[in-house]
């Protein structure tokens, strides 16, 4: 029987959905970081549970032809780019396979073509937002990323998947924090001042926002720090302070203060303009979010007479993208601030036929049925946990001709599609979209059509 610290030669036969190599030894399934299919390794056993184990690579005896050799290991260790060691074309194949496998295993569907994953021409430097911890290492203030499953900071200067201007602003801010001797946060001691730097940048506008997350309100020589940053970064139009004095993993506390410029930055998505605040949810990959939303719009084949329900509508980015080409949009979202943003975004873009309410999606839909609202299309974009059974029943009860499902988790999507099929809908189209290149995350758009009696 294998035990901890044993070293054994294994072949990697698959990847887990989180991108770890999978090996099978003695009836156990082992998960191994930084190991790819077709590789043969000497593996050290780290941990064994009931029928699974965790191992680490001691030596590569044979490497995959798809391995990216010049990958900085820090990206893997922090999980910033947990797929960075796999050639991009293979990442796209893996994501499509995730969707195919989940549809078959969970919903028993194998007769619907899953399209090739839509990818990026340049799959790095795409993130328009960064949240970077600030800590002391070897007596010096550093910015970087936590090692996976820990709170040990690894200093990083080039974050690979973040907009390069964001990286430049983080590094410049770090240098000034050092120069002004502002103390980094110490989690164990609950001391220090600067906890995190959060940076946002408009993909099209180039406008930048810096949020300094601090443990207390007063920041010594903050005006000089801002003055120097604005001189170096003319696109920095907003500097915000967030005060978070709690012992928590949450990045933001409840209090925001404007230190310089505007409260928001502005950017565009599919011909609409959006104001983005420090705490707004806004897709971090603008280019691929546009392709994701455009896919959902194309699948829905919307016409000028259509009434569309936009469930989990957020700040309105999907619904407002097509509002001008349909009769009416009804949006529902549980987060009140997001609904206010959606209403403001509709007004900003001259859209008068979109109505947004704060409610659970299933409750809102039950109300709309009573009001006689009959949607032709329902578009859903739920969180990772997918839809509730009551939502699926309520949406099917409105009997739209089409349900367009935008998912960030192929497993819960497949589970939900199975329920929709039991309620008289048929899956007809599936398109994976790579919103998060270099990571294991996979987005997918599916079209369900009401079976004609």
**Residues taking part in catalysis:** 408
Cα dihedral value 92, 283, 268, 337, nearest 10: 160
CB burial of 240-277 (b: ≥16 within 10 Å; e: otherwise) equals bbbbbeeeeeebbbeebeebbbeebbebebbebebbbb
Distance between CA atoms of 103 and 323, rounded to whole angstroms?
31
User: Which residues does residue 211 pair with via DSSP β-bridges, in sequence order?
Assistant: 198, 240
For residue 308, give the 3-state DSSP assignment: strand
Distance between CA atoms of 66 and 417, rounded to whole angstroms?
33
State the burial class of residue 112 (Cβ atoms within 10 Å of its Cβ: 0-12, 13-18, 19+).
middle
Q: Which helix (H) or strand (E) holds 178?
A: helix 164-179
Residue 436's contacts (CB-CB under 8 Å, 6 or more residues apart) are 161, 284, 285, 442, 443
299 closest CA partner among 353, 392, 377, 396: 377
How far is CA 83 from each of CA 14, 216, 442, rounded to the nearest angstrom?
Answer: 14, 38, 12
CB burial of 133-163 (b: ≥16 within 10 Å; e: otherwise) equals bbbeeeeebbbbbbeeeeeebbebeebbbbb
Place of tokens 């989690």: 187
């Amino acid at each position: 029987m294998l035990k901890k610290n044993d070293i054994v030669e294994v072949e990697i036969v698959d990847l887990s959905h989180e991108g770890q190599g999978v090996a099978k030894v003695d009836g156990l399934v082992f998960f191994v970081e930084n190991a790819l299919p077709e590789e043969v390794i000497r593996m050290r056993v780290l941990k064994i549970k009931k029928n699974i184990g965790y191992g680490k690579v001691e030596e590569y005896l044979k490497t995959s032809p798809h391995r990216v050799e010049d990958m900085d290991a820090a990206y893997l260790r922090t999980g910033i780019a947990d797929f960075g060691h796999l050639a991009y074309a293979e990442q796209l194949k893996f994501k499509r396979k995730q969707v195919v496998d989940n549809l078959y295993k969970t919903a028993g569907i194998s007769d619907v073509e899953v399209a090739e994953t839509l990818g990026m021409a340049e799959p790095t430097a795409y993130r328009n937002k960064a949240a970077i911890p600030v800590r002391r290492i070897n007596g010096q203030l550093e910015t970087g990323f936590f090692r996976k499953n820990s709170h040990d900071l690894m200093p990083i200067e080039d974050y690979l998947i973040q907009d390069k201007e964001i990286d430049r602003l983080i590094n410049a801010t770090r240098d000034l924090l050092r120069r002004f001797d502002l103390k980094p946060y110490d989690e164990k001691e609950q001391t220090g001042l600067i906890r995190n730097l959060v940076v946002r940048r408009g993909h099209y506008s180039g406008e930048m926002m810096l949020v300094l997350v601090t443990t207390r309100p007063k920041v010594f020589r903050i005006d000089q720090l801002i003055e120097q940053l604005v001189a170096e970064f003319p696109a920095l139009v907003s500097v915000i302070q967030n005060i978070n004095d709690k012992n928590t993993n949450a990045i933001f506390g409840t209090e925001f203060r404007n230190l310089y410029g505007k409260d928001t930055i502005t950017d565009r998505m599919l011909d609409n303009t959006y104001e983005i605040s420090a705490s707004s949810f806004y897709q971090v990959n603008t280019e691929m979010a546009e392709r994701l939303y455009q896919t959902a719009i194309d699948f829905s084949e919307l016409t000028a007479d259509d009434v569309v329900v936009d469930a989990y509508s957020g700040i309105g980015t999907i619904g407002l993208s097509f509002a001008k080409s349909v009769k009416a949009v009804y949006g529902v979202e549980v987060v009140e601030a997001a609904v206010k943003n959606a209403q403001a975004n509709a007004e900003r873009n001259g859209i008068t036929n979109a109505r947004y309410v704060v409610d659970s999606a299933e409750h809102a839909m039950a109300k709309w049925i009573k009001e006689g609202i009959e949607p032709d299309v329902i578009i859903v974009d739920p969180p990772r946990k997918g839809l509730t059974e009551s939502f699926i029943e309520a949406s099917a009860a409105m009997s739209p001709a089409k349900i367009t499902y935008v998912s960030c988790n192929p497993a819960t999507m497949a589970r939900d599609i199975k329920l929709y099929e039991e309620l008289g809908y048929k899956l007809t189209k599936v398109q994976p979209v790579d919103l998060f290149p270099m990571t294991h995350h996979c987005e997918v758009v599916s079209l369900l059509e009401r079976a004609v009696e």
